[in-house]
Amino acid sequence: MKKQLCLIMIIILVLSSLLVACGKGNKANLEDDNSEIETYTLEGIKNKGKLVLGTSADYPPFEFHKMIDGKDEIVGFDIEIAKYVARELGVELEIKDMDFDKLLGGLSTGMLDIVAAGMNPDPEREKEANFTDIYYESTHSVLINKEDESKIASMEDLNGKSIGVQIGTTQEKIAETEIKDSDVVSLSSNPDIVMNLKTMKIDCAIMETPVAKSFAKANEEIMVIEDLIIDSGTEGVAIATKKGNDELTQRINEILAKAKSEGLIEKWIVEANELNDLD
């Protein structure tokens, strides 16, 4: 009897071990299957239920901070586009506010799903990321201190001047390559550039035209040179996704095309300009 009981116990233990091992194996297989889906892909975004947007919220009217009902919110043209994309994908939007020159790095590591930051898809950036179709045509303007209105009126007048630009932007490249003997002062944010211009630590600044006009409206000491418009050398601004993330890029193109057909792009840029009351 004792031998029979021992044999039964041994059989039970062996069967239990096999069941546990099978369970662990199935769990491991499930985890392996899930791990194959990268979180920044279209399927990965839907699985996690959120779209992670990288932006640099110092660029009105594209993206900027605004106190709304006593709460600091990131708002703007690009933010409305990102919200629309998230709604069309059926997910929530999560916004990460970063330095502009860190955004493409965030895409490459998978920390960000998309970047919407008034970004021009120039050839150098296209080596690092995918870009959607253009959703806004861009030009650049020159900001000056009003005391220098008589001194700077043309591109030639910019030669040899100290020029404030944001690090990693198209404006930085313009100042470095298209203006002779320029002293390029690259700063991390546009408010820093404006402060340097107001205190006359720099002679002028180059910004995207609607951004330049927004800061001129908010600061009476500075102005935009109305007759001096600089072609960006690119077709406009677009949303960036991780390099090779073609399915997500194509889906966002479809969503942008829908927004354009519904007249939403024009509506959002008007609303962003109206909301950008920085006084």
Query: Residue 224: inside a domain, yes or no?
Result: yes
d(CA 208, CA 210): 6
Query: Which residues partner with 68 through β-bridges?
Result: 71
Q: How many domains does the chain have?
A: 2
Q: How many CA atoms lie within 13 A of 184 on its CB side?
A: 20
Q: Give yes or no: residues 124 and 82 share one domain.
A: yes
Q: Give yes or no: residues 159 and 116 share one domain.
A: no
Query: Residue 12: inside a domain, yes or no?
Result: no
Q: Which residue has the tokens 């194959």?
A: 36
Query: Residue 75: inside a domain, yes or no?
Result: yes
Q: Give yes or no: residues 116 and 242 share one domain.
A: yes
CB 216 within 8 A of CB 223: yes
Residue 209 pLDDT: 85
Query: Residue 254: inside a domain, yes or no?
Result: yes
CB 222 within 8 A of CB 97: no
Query: Residue 26: inside a domain, yes or no?
Result: no
Q: Give yes or no: residues 221 and 242 share one domain.
A: no
Q: Give yes or no: residues 52 and 105 share one domain.
A: yes
- Encode the chain (279 residues) as per-residue pLDDT tens digits: 555 555 555 555 555 555 544 454 444 443 444 456 788 999 999 999 999 999 999 888 899 999 988 999 999 999 999 999 999 999 999 999 999 999 999 999 999 999 999 998 988 999 999 999 999 887 889 999 999 998 888 889 999 999 999 988 888 988 998 899 989 999 988 889 999 999 999 999 999 888 888 889 889 999 999 888 887 666 689 999 999 999 999 999 999 999 999 989 888 987 887 787 544
Query: Residue 68: inside a domain, yes or no?
Result: yes
Query: Residue 10: inside a domain, yes or no?
Result: no
- Locate 12 and state its tokens: 């039970």
Q: For residue 158, give the DSSP letter.
A: G
Return the CA Rg of the chain: 26
Q: Which CATH number goes with the domain that contains 258?
A: 3.40.190.10
Q: Give yes or no: residues 185 and 163 share one domain.
A: yes
d(CA 3, CA 15): 18
**Cα 151 versus chain centre, distance:** 35
d(CA 1, CA 228): 103
Residue 214 sits in which domain range? Answer: 139-231
The candidate with the shortest Cα–Cα distance to 224, out of 233, 216, 236, 235, is: 216
Q: Give yes or no: residues 126 and 51 share one domain.
A: yes
Q: Give yes or no: residues 126 and 243 share one domain.
A: yes
Residue 170 pLDDT: 82
Query: Residue 13: inside a domain, yes or no?
Result: no
Q: Give yes or no: residues 79 and 193 share one domain.
A: no
Q: Give yes or no: residues 130 and 199 share one domain.
A: no
Q: Give yes or no: residues 47 and 123 share one domain.
A: yes
Q: Give yes or no: residues 91 and 52 share one domain.
A: yes
CB-neighbour burial class of residue 253 (10 A; exposed 0-12, middle 13-18, buried 19+): middle
